[in-house]
Amino acid sequence: MIKDYRPYYIKKAWYRLQHLYIRHKLAPQLTSLGKHPFIVKPWHIEIFGGPVSIGNNVTLLGCSDKKTRLTVWSDRKDIRGITIGDHVLISPGVRISAANNISIADSCMLASHVYITDSDWHGIYDRSMPPKEKSFVVLEENVWVGDSSIICKGVTIGKNSIIGAGSVVTSDVPANVIAAGNPAKIIKKLVLDKPIITRKDRFSDTDTMTQALVSAEKEFLKGNTLLGWIRSWFFPKK
């Protein structure tokens, strides 16, 4: 990992640039964007169609080689589209494609390359047109979906459940279990007498978290200078 040689005021200016992009480019494409979003590299997050609603304190990560895409394709106006709750984590490379409604509740976590869809997008016998039936997908509160998993149409995943990496979920998963495989099957039940700490529990005090992050970054970048940052571009060190 290359050391970050930026002075704190340069990094702060970088954050302001991201916030400007979010406010003027990303947010206008959304039906709603809640308070205190933490969005990294928003120019690598693509929104197509709508409605797309995002709650408070969401963490949304983009990456140049892993575009994050939220897509709604429908000719109907009465659909809910994509609804994302509070304190949700969406990692780089996630694709969410809705023809009707995909609902992701508070504190859910989606790892890289997760794909969620509520439609087959083509009929089985008439492949020239989308299917007529309406489907949906529901992720209840605090669901964790592992890397490269696929959540198919009509699926509901219950509260606190975990989907193992690389799984293909084709049917409902109850609450408080771990499911994995293709097609995904229950492999373990969670111990219900153990407390589960959610992202909402951990990060609900936004002011305290922000102060802690600012203090940590100031300490990490302490001593950095503008000249040293420019020098690092031409003569990077290990």
Q: Contact 84/55 with Cβ under 8 angstroms?
A: yes
Q: pTM for the complete prediction?
A: 0.90
pLDDT, tens digit (0-9, with 9 covering 90-100), for 141-173: 999 999 999 999 999 999 999 999 999 999 999
Tell me the average pLDDT of the chain: 93
Q: Report the C-alpha gap between 158 and 152 in whole angstroms.
A: 15
For the chain, the 3-state helix, strand and coil shares in percent, each to the nearest 5, are: 25, 25, 50
Sign of the torsion formed by the C-alpha atoms of 43, 35, 79 and 60:
positive
Which residue from 53, 54, 51 is spatially nearest to 37, judged by alpha carbons? Answer: 54
pLDDT per position as a tens digit, 122-138: 888 888 877 777 899 99
Domains of the chain, CATH where assigned: 1-30+205-238 (no CATH), 34-195 (2.160.10.10)
Among residues 142, 152, 146, the alpha carbon closest in space to that of 187 is found at 146
- What are the DSSP calls for 106-160, one per residue? TT-EE-TT-EEES--SS-SS-TTS--SS--EEEE-TT-EE-TT-EE-TT-EE-TT
